[in-house]
Amino acid sequence: MLKYIYLVLAIAFEVIGTASLKASEGFTLLKPSILTVFSYMVCFYFLSLSLKYFTSIGYVYAIWSALGIVLLTLIGIFYFKEQMDFAGILGLFLIIIGVVILNIFSKISA
Range of the domain at 17: 2-109
Residue 9 or residue 102, greater confidence: 9
- Give the pTM: 0.90
pLDDT digits (tens, 9 = 90+) for 34-81: 999 999 999 999 999 999 999 899 899 999 999 999 999 999 999 999
Summarize the confidence of residues 6-11 as an average pLDDT. 98
Q: Report pLDDT for 110.
A: 58
How many Å apart are CA 71 and CA 102, to the nearest integer? 19
pLDDT of 109 above 80: no
| Number of domain units in the chain | 1
Question: CA 70: distance to chain centroid?
Answer: 8
Average pLDDT along the chain: 94
Alpha carbon of 18 to those of 6, 65, 68, 104, 108: distances in Å? 18, 12, 9, 29, 28
Summarize the confidence of residues 14-29 as an average pLDDT. 98
